[in-house]
Homo-oligomer: A and B are copies of this chain.
Amino acid sequence: MSDLYASRRTRLRERCTAAGNAAALVSSPANVRYLAGAAPRGAVLLLGKGEDVLVCPGPSDDRPGEERPDDSLRVHLLSRPGGDPAVAAADLLTARPGGDSLAIEEHHLTVARHRELRSVVPRLRVADLGTAVEQLRVVKDEEEISCLRIGAEIADQALGELLESILVGRTERHLALELERRLVDHGADGPAFPTSVATGPNSGRRGHRPTDRRVEEGDFLSVCLGAAYRGYRCEIGRTFVIGTSPADWQIELYDLVFAAQRAGRESLVPGAAYRDVDRAARQVLGSAGHHEGLPALTGHGVGLEIDEDPQLAPAAMGKLDACVPVTVEPGVHLPGRGGVRIDDTLVVRPEADGGPELLTITTKELLAL
Q: Which residues of A contact B (CB under 8 A)?
A: 58-59, 61-66, 81-82, 104, 106-115, 128, 173-174, 177, 180-181, 184, 205-209, 211, 293-297, 311, 313, 315, 333
Q: How far is the CB of A8 from chain B (nearest CB, A)?
A: 23
Contacts A109-B111, A112-B107 known; A293 to B181 CB distance under 8 Å?
Answer: no
* Given A59-B295, A66-B209, 11 additional A-B pairs, CB 8 A: A61-B293, A64-B205, A81-B297, A82-B311, A82-B315, A106-B112, A107-B110, A109-B110, A111-B111, A111-B114, A111-B128
A296 to B78, CA, bound (A): 12
A82 x B296 contact (CB < 8 A): yes
Chain B residues with CB below 8 A from A205, complex form: 61, 64
Contact between B107 and A64, CB atoms less than 8 A apart = no
A296 is contacted by which of B59, B107, B108 (Cβ under 8 Å)? Answer: B59
- Complex CA distance for A82 and B297, rounded to whole angstroms: 10
Q: CB < 8 Å: which of B61, B82, B295, B297 contacts A61?
A: B295
Label chain A's interface by main secondary structure.
Answer: loop
On chain B, the residues within 8 Å of A311 by CB distance are 82
Complex CA distance for A104 and B115, rounded to whole angstroms: 14
CA distance A71 to B207 in the complex (A): 24
Residues of B near A177 (CB, < 8 A) are 180-181, 184
B211 touches A66 (CB 8 A): yes
**CB closest residue in chain B, given A187:** B212
Residues on the B chain within 8 Å of A62, using CB: 206-207, 295-296
| Most B Cβ at <10 Å: residue of A109, A177, A180 | A177
A243 CB to closest chain B CB, in angstroms? Answer: 26
Contacts of A174 in B (CB 8 A): 184
Q: How far is the CA of A184 from the CA of B195 in the complex (A)?
A: 14
CA distance A112 to B174 in the complex (A): 40
| Bound: A184/B179 CA distance, A | 14
- Known contacts A109-B111, A110-B110, A128-B112: does B293 contact A206 (CB below 8 Å)? no
**Contact partners of A58 in chain B: CB under 8 A:** 296
A59 to B313, CA, bound (A): 13
